[in-house]
Amino acid sequence: MRNRSKEETALFYIGWALVFVSGILVLMYQIMPLPFKMIMPPCIFHSVTGLYCPGCGGTRAVSALLHGHIVTSFICHPLVPCTAITAGWFLISQSIERISKHKIKVGMKYRDVYIWAALGIVIINFIVKNILLMVWNVDLLQGITL
């Protein structure tokens, strides 16, 4: 059996490190937005096939979420707001439990099912967006820029 406590501790510190690095990147973007916009190449899969790749819309979803547009973020790529909510609660609940020295037992526990659920969201998103595009010519990402 794996040691879940070590996994949760590693995820806790990695999570807070990612929050810190993301905060710095957001601040840098606020100071000098142009260089960050130029480093995002177009999706090669979409350029070649005309279809969405499993990750298409992810960058727009992150941008929408950072701008407070939760519904737009979900439409662009539902994994982004779902991950933000799950990871946010994990970090907050684990912080509460650790600060209270495990007296307040609210810490979300890591389960492999979260990874499988994320994979399911990616697959369903990929299928639904491409069916909408191919069958009804509905491009959910067209015109969404933030």
Residue type, 80: V
Give how far Cα 96 sits from Cα of 23, 100, 102, 105, 108, Å.
Answer: 21, 6, 8, 8, 10
Predicted local confidence at residue 55, as pLDDT = 94
User: Would you place residue 127 in the very low, low, confident or very high pLDDT band (cuts 50, 70, 90)?
Assistant: very high
Asked whether residue 4 is assigned to any structural domain, the reply reads: no
pLDDT of 52 above 50: yes
Predicted local confidence at residue 39, as pLDDT = 67
Asked whether residue 105 is assigned to any structural domain, the reply reads: yes
pLDDT of 1 above 50: no
Question: Which of 45 and 31 is assigned the larger pLDDT?
Answer: 45
Q: What is the pLDDT averaged over residues 119-145?
A: 92
Asked whether residue 13 is assigned to any structural domain, the reply reads: no
Distance, CA of 69 to CA of 64 (rounded, Å): 5
Distance, CA of 3 to CA of 52 (rounded, Å): 38
Instruction: Give me the domain span that covers residue 88.
Output: 41-136
Asked whether residue 60 is assigned to any structural domain, the reply reads: yes
Going 117 to 94 to 97 to 5, the CA torsion angle's sign is: positive
User: Would you place residue 34 in the very low, low, confident or very high pLDDT band (cuts 50, 70, 90)?
Assistant: low
Distance, CA of 92 to CA of 101 (rounded, Å): 14
**Tens digit of each residue's pLDDT (9 = 90 or more) over 66-104:** 889 999 999 999 999 999 999 999 999 999 999 999 999
**Tens digit of each residue's pLDDT (9 = 90 or more) over 114-126:** 999 999 999 999 9
Mean pLDDT computed over every residue of the chain: 90
Alpha helices by DSSP H, the chain: 4-31, 33-38, 44-49, 58-66, 70-76, 79-99, 113-136
Backbone dihedral angles phi then psi of residue 108, each to the nearest 5 degrees: -65, 135
Contacts of 83 (CB under 8 A, 6+ apart): 118
Asked whether residue 19 is assigned to any structural domain, the reply reads: no
Domain count, the chain: 1
Q: What angle do CA 86, 91, 95 make, to 5 degrees?
A: 145
